[in-house]
């Protein structure tokens, strides 16, 4: 089949990484709703597969560049035939459409062999070629829930961490596959996720965003094939008969995913539960009518039974974690300066942090650097560069704030976040960017008082009045990620702003409850009590604060202590400025 297909050069490029039989190919089958990718309990993927999702694709195709240039219809048998016959570091190509991804953009997923197989040493080489050399925007690490904390997993995490440091860091999603092995009467989903996060964070660069999502990939594949009336094996039919709804609920609650994804999954689960309940009640009524009144009701009952079975499958698919994964992919933002940057040969020492002196012998050809930040890429900065982003004149920024904000509370909140951001810029090693960090804090709610329903959407228009740097506009908008906009915080400054915005409000409210009406004598234990009391300052989202800590790679305690310390250090200055403005 002669056909010219141009691989996408933009969009997402995701590396699917994991040990042998962790379920990488099964996850692809679950996303596809078919069993086209070879999967099993042994090494079934022997080469890199470059899977290109094209929203306009109407016929799944595949090609083996090592042997022939023609595109062929995609089939499990063909991929099995090619597996292991390709040239070294030459991926087989698959063109398809994942039918449940909603965003109309290309996505490339690289499926890799498990590097831990003892039988095929070349599998390891293929995987590390992909990890070090392919243009990636994200890593999806697949762990087998049935075999956690193994030596193979530890070795993979260590090597992945080294390469991530060499590449300047990449966002990471940990997929806990085979989550259906969890017995929630004996195990805690929350504790398992916490342990995994702690383990992974020990290996990846500081500040790496680590999201964690348990999934039941095999179940989802089977349930989707049942809906399509696909032929199933006896094992698959038996496998699909049981799902623990309590487990699904725990996964939904405790998965480390964006809140908008969690909310969407919750709403869908409830919709399918209602249809399930309604069809069950309707079916019972029809059974009674068919037996007691009219046999013809049985025909209607068969249709209702099909609706009930459909609702069962759809609810199970939604609870399995795969719907959350699909919405997670839809919500991802590509970062092409990072994607185009290939790793240097893996080194044991990372580049010196900003404002730190390099250690002896660290300069020269071996030093790792990140590409210089450009106006179109606010997420990447050169750790060795002193070219700080341009901050607007402080008087000009303050005048803009007062132009659109008259409420004293809003002014005080802006000044508080400004001071905290300036303080933390210096504390975290970004002293030369302190004015830029402070400007983002001062102007982060520029549009909230007059346009609360367009918060973070109206802001770019208002910031244009003072010619704000594009990076400043991105930073201001990113603090509303998952709440009122889809601009994701990626630079460390943006993550700090996202984390402290809600938290400064909580600390300020706690201070007003004290006899001193000040943070100066507030203990961290007192703040923790207020944080746990959901009725206190209920408008300050605890979920956002926790998410902010996770984005920074910090513990919640560290975030609380850091923010409280910053507010103690800056409180006097804020009061002085407010008193001057009042007079």
Which range, of 257-271, 386-400, 474-488, averages the lowest pLDDT?
A: 386-400
Q: pLDDT tens digits for 355-414?
A: 333 333 333 322 222 222 333 333 333 333 345 678 899 999 999 999 999 888 889 999
Could you tell me if 325 and 390 lie in one domain? Answer: no
139 shares a domain with 21:
yes
With 50 as the cut, is the pLDDT of residue 517 above it? yes
pLDDT value, residue 216: 95
Domain contains 2? no
Long-range pairs for 181-190 at CB < 8 Å and ≥24 separation?
181/145, 181/146, 182/145, 182/214, 182/247, 184/244, 184/246, 184/247, 184/250, 189/214, 189/247, 189/250, 189/251, 189/253, 189/254, 190/250, 190/253, 190/254
Measured distance CA(326)–CA(414) in Å, rounded? 36
Mean pLDDT of 431-459: 92
Q: Please check whether residue 178 lies inside any domain of the structure.
A: yes
Count Cβ atoms within 10 A of the Cβ of residue 228 and give its class: 0-12 exposed, 13-18 middle, 19 or more buried.
exposed
Q: Which is it for the CA torsion 314, 320, 323, 324, positive or negative?
A: positive
Residue 94 lies in a domain: yes
Q: In 3D, which of 537, 536, 558, 538 has the Cα closest to residue 546?
A: 558
* Encoded tokens for 352: 């010196």
In the prediction, which pLDDT does 251 show? Answer: 94
pLDDT over threshold 70, residue 518: yes
Quote the mean pLDDT of the chain.
Answer: 80
Helices then strands, counting H and E runs in the chain, come out as 21, 9
Among the residue ranges 30-34, 340-344, 511-515, the one predicted with the least confidence is 340-344
Per-residue pLDDT at 367: 25
Q: Please determine, for residue 424, whether its predicted confidence score (pLDDT) is greater than 80.
A: yes
Arithmetic mean of pLDDT, 546-555:
92
Helix, strand, coil shares, percent, the chain, to 5:
50, 10, 40
Q: Tens digits of per-residue pLDDT, 150-160?
A: 888 888 898 89
Its domain, for residue 274, covers 12-331
Last residue of a domain, one of 269, 303, 331: 331
Name the band, by pLDDT with cuts 50, 70 and 90, for residue 456.
Answer: very high
pLDDT above 90 for 37: no
1 is a domain residue: no
- What per-residue confidence (pLDDT) applies to 68? 63
| Structural domains in the chain (count) | 2
User: If you write DSSP's letter for every residue of 315-368 in order, what string do you get?
Assistant: HHHHHTTHHHHHHHHHH----HHHHT-PPPSP-SSPPPPTTSPPPTT-SSTT--
Q: Are 295 and 427 part of one and the same domain?
A: no
* Share of residues in the chain with pLDDT > 70 (%): 79
Judge if 453 and 305 occupy the same domain: no
In a domain, 63, yes or no: yes
Decide which of 403 and 121 is more confident: 403
- Higher model confidence: residue 235 or residue 441? 441
Q: Give start and end residues of each alpha helix (H) in 202-258.
A: 217-227, 234-239, 245-254
Q: Mean per-residue pLDDT for 448-454?
A: 87
Answer yes or no: are the C-beta atoms of 422 and 438 closer than 8 Å. yes
On whether both 25 and 155 belong to a single domain, the answer is: yes
Query: Residue 89 region, left (φ>0) first, then alpha (ψ -120 to 50), else beta?
Result: left
Give the least confident one: 95-104, 123-132, 209-218, 430-439.
Answer: 123-132
Predicted confidence (pLDDT) per residue in 231-259, tens digit: 888 888 887 777 888 999 999 999 999 99
81 and 207 share one domain:
yes
Q: What are phi and psi of 249, to 5 degrees?
A: -65, -40
Q: Which two tokens stand for residue 25?
A: 């190919």
Distance separating alpha carbons of residues 436 and 494, to the nearest angstrom: 11
Does 353 score more than 70 pLDDT? no
Using the structure block, give the residue that is written with the tokens 């009930």: 308
Distance of CA 350 to the CA centre of its chain: 24
Statement to judge: residues 300 and 420 lie in one domain: no
What is the pLDDT averaged over residues 108-125?
70
The answer on 128 and 26 residing in a single domain is yes
Q: Is residue 354 part of a domain?
A: no
> What is the pLDDT, as a whole number, of residue 159?
86
State how far the Cα of 226 lies from the Cα of 311, in Å rounded to an integer: 12
This prediction has a pTM of: 0.57
Q: Which helix (H) or strand (E) holds 49?
A: strand 49-53
Q: From CA 16, how far away is CA 201, in angstroms rounded?
A: 18
Q: pLDDT band for position 44 (50/70/90)? A: low
Same domain, 167 and 275: yes
The two structure tokens encoding residue 282: 């309707």
């Amino acid at each position: 089949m002669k056909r010219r297909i141009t691989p996408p050069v933009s969009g997402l490029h995701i590396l699917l990484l994991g040990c042998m039989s962790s379920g990488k190919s099964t996850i692809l089958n679950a996303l596809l709703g078919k069993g086209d990718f070879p999967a099993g309990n042994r090494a079934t993927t022997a080469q890199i597969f470059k899977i290109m999702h094209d929203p306009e694709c109407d016929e799944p195709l595949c090609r083996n560049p090592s042997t022939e240039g023609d595109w062929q219809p995609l089939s499990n048998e063909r991929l099995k035939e090619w597996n292991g016959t390709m040239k070294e570091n030459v991926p087989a190509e698959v063109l398809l459409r994942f039918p449940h991804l909603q965003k109309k953009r290309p996505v490339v997923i690289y499926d890799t062999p498990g590097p831990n197989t003892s039988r095929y040493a070349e599998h390891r080489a293929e995987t590390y070629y992909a990890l070090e050399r392919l243009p990636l925007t994200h890593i999806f690490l697949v762990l087998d829930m049935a075999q956690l904390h193994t030596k193979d997993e530890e070795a993979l995490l260590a090597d992945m961490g080294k390469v991530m440091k060499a590449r300047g860091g990449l966002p990471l999603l940990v997929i806990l596959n085979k989550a259906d092995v969890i017995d929630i009467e004996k195990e805690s989903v929350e504790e398992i996720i916490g342990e995994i996060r702690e383990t992974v964070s020990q290996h990846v660069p500081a500040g790496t965003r680590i999201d964690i999502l348990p999934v039941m990939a095999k179940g989802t594949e089977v349930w989707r094939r049942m809906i399509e009336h696909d032929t199933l094996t006896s094992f698959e039919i038996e496998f699909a008969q049981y799902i623990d709804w309590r487990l699904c609920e725990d996964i939904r609650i405790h998965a480390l995913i964006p809140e908008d994804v969690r909310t969407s999954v919750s709403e869908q689960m409830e919709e399918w539960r209602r249809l399930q309940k309604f069809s069950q009640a309707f079916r019972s009524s029809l059974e009674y009518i068919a037996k007691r009144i009219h046999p013809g009701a049985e025909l209607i009952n068969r249709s209702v039974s099909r609706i009930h079975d459909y609702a069962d499958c759809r609810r199970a698919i939604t609870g399995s974690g795969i719907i959350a994964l699909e919405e997670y992919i839809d919500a991802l933002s590509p970062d092409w300066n990072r994607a185009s940057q290939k790793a240097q040969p893996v080194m044991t020492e990372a580049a010196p942090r900003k404002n730190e002196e390099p250690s002896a012998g660290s300069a020269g050809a071996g030093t790792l650097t990140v590409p210089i930040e450009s106006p179109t890429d606010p997420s990447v900065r050169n750790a060795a560069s002193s070219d700080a982003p341009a901050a607007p004149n402080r008087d000009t920024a303050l005048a803009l704030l007062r132009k659109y904000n008259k409420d004293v509370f809003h002014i005080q909140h802006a000044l508080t976040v400004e001071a905290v951001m300036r303080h933390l810029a210096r504390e975290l090693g970004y002293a030369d960017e302190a004015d830029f960090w402070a400007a983002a804090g001062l102007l982060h709610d520029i549009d909230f008082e007059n346009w609360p329903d367009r918060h973070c959407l109206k802001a770019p228009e208002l910031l244009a009045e003072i010619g704000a740097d594009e990076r400043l506009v991105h930073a201001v908008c990113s603090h509303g990620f998952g709440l009122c906009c889809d601009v994701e915080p990626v630079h460390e400054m943006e993550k700090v702003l996202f984390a402290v915005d809600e938290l400064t409000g909580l600390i300020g409210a706690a201070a007003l409850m004290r006899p001193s009406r000040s943070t100066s004598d507030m203990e961290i234990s007192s703040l923790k009590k207020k944080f746990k009391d959901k009725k206190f300052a209920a408008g300050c989202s605890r979920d956002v604060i926790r998410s902010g800590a996770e984005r920074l790679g910090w513990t919640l305690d560290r975030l609380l202590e850091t923010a409280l310390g910053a507010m103690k250090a800056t409180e006097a200055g804020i009061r002085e400025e407010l008193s001057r403005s009042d007079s």
